Amino acid sequence: MDFKKMLQNMDLDDMKDKVEDIAEEIRKDPELQKQFKTEPVKALEKVLDVELPDEMVNKVIAAVKAQMAADKLDDKLDQLEDKLEGKVDLLKKLF
């Protein structure tokens, strides 16, 4: 697979979707998560089943890390929202 040609033919939405898919695959596999933290290039190549050109790998890794961080932040915000919702319900009962 020529990853460079594939990327050149993708529009921004396709790239975003691909990054989201990669991040999700890494998030759901604890071993892959460990490998991504220590050897992100090898983990990415494993997910994509392709050897990446050096000039592209850091950009893809950065995008995947950003997506994973955004997903984690979203999960934390959901948890906070749930907690606050419970507190608001308690306050409403007081008044």
Between CA 37 and CA 48, with CA 43 as vertex, the angle to 5 degrees is 145
So what's the pLDDT on residue 41? 86
What's the pTM?
Answer: 0.58
pLDDT digits (tens, 9 = 90+) for 7-29: 666 666 777 888 888 899 998 99
Please report where in the chains the tokens 């308690």 appear, as a residue.
Answer: 90
d(CA 90, CA 14): 44
The mean pLDDT of 69-94, rounded to a whole number, is 84
If one compares 38 and 92, the residue with the highest pLDDT of the two is: 38
pLDDT digits 0-9 by tens, 45-54: 888 887 777 6
